[in-house]
Structure 1
Amino acid sequence: MKNSALALHSHSASVTTFNGLNFSYWCEQIKFHLGVLDLDVALYSEKPTAITEASSDEEKSYYKHWDWSNRLGLMFMRMNIAGNIKTTLPKIENAKELLKLVEESFQTADKSLAGTLMGTLTIMKFDGSRTMYEHVIKMTNIAARLKSLGMKVEHNFFVQFIINSTPSEYGPFQINYNIMKDK
């Protein structure tokens, strides 16, 4: 029991706090960590029927496992939601329902963020305030963030975004790249 609590706390400390703008990334981390801890049963299955005297040992065992998964899964999720959001959520006693509610409530924020990131990526220009390497890494990070939000940026388009973001003195590089890609 003590080891379970320690493992839960340790995993929780490495999960990004849900802040209202990072649902996709947060949800992915929650599902991964609960899976590693074998606490994801309640996320993927409905609550089993209550156990009775007539219930088999297998049914009793499954109910106990589901209940354990649900209670700790709820705690784990709540531990990783920002306080200002946590206070707005209704009291829910089912981990699967809590995850669904958070997704429905903040799905539009993810879509809005994706639009903002796509806009940033397409108009981004190299201004010399950092190295070209840092500029490309920043664009790569934006593309990775878009992917985590369900918007994959195709490789050829991404390379073109990078090339288009360079100033006119990189013209010879742009020409050479276009010649090489056509071969």
Structure 2
Amino acid sequence: MEFGLALRVDEPLVPIKSSTQIEKASYERWEQSNCLSLMFIKSSIGKSIRGSIFECAKVKEDLKAIEQQFETSDKALVSTLMTKMCSMKFNGTKGVHEHIMEMRDIIAQLKSLEIEMSESFLVHFILNSLPSEYEPFKISYNTHKENGLSMNF
């Protein structure tokens, strides 16, 4: 039996009385492959995730439903990460280095979700998250940047 047949081949027509033995056997092989593929997918996905995905009778449709669920999840994650990054301000409870590293981590997560931002924007965004007591540092950075130096975050 071909396990992935239902993924590679479109569903054949449902056999009728006048169908040939080959057509009936082809449909039966496809149906078994579809059933096994669906069972494999369901057994591989956790119950908490499985409940949020619309169940389909065909494996190709099931995979599309799973893909759509995760696209929605990615969009929600992007929104959450952007909100977190925009609201981050250095408050002195941790070191500046740790604050910057947390922001870099969020930026890396956004990049993995195909959200690109220029390095210049990110540097200014991070600098703006620092309180006013870091103004001399910000001024120094901006002055040196104009002279061709850059900050490697």
Relative to the length of structure 2, the TM-score reads: 0.63
Does the CA-based 8 Å contact 2:42-2:50 persist in structure 1?
no
Q: Percent identity?
A: 37
Superposed displacement of residue 91, structure 1: 4.7
Q: 1: distance between equivalents of 2:67 and 2:10?
A: 23
**Among 111, 126, 132, the residue aligned to 1:168:** 132
Instruction: Provide the residue aligned with 2:123 in structure 1.
Output: 159
Contact residue 125 and residue 167 of structure 1 kept, 8 A: yes
Distance (whole Å) between structure 2 residues aligned to residue 76 and residue 171 of structure 1? 55
1:78 to partner: Cα distance: 4.8
Partner of 2:8: 46
Which residue, 68, 75, 95 being the options, matches 2:40?
75
Q: Greater shift after overlay, 162-171 or 113-122?
A: 113-122
Work out which of the residue numbers 55, 66, 81 in structure 2 matches 1:90. 55
Offset from partner CA, 1:26-80 (integer Å, 9 cap, x none): xxxxxxxxxxxxxxx88xx732788x98xxxxxxxxxxxxx6xx949x736852x
Q: 1:146, 1:153 within 8 Å by CA — same for their partners in 2?
A: no
- Aligned AA (2:117): V
When residues 137 and 85 of structure 1 are mapped into structure 2, their CA distance, relative to the original with a 3 A threshold, is same
The match for 2:111 is 147
1:25: which partner in 2? none
Q: Number of paired residues?
A: 128
Q: Which runs of 5+ in 1 are unaligned?
A: 1-40, 54-66
In the TM superposition, what are the counterparts of 1:1-183 in structure 2 within 5 Å? 46-47=8-9, 71=37, 75=40, 78-79=43-44, 81-88=45-52, 89-94=54-59, 96-183=60-147
Provide the secondary structure at the position in 1 that maps to 2:8.
Answer: coil
CA-based RMSD of the aligned residues comes to 3.5
Q: Which runs of 5+ in 2 are unaligned?
A: 13-20, 23-32, 148-153
Amino acid across the alignment from 2:128: N
CA distance in structure 1 between the partners assigned to 2:55 and 2:41 by the alignment: 16
Residues 110-141 of structure 1: CA deviation (Å, up to 9, x unaligned): 22321221122123101112121211111111
**What is the TM-score with the length of structure 1 in the denominator?**
0.54
Runs of 4+ in 1 over 4 A off after TM superposition: none
Q: Quote the Cα distance in structure 1 between the aligned partners of 2:121 and 2:10.
A: 48
Equivalent position of 1:32 in the other structure: none
CA distance in 2, matches of 1:77, 1:131: 45
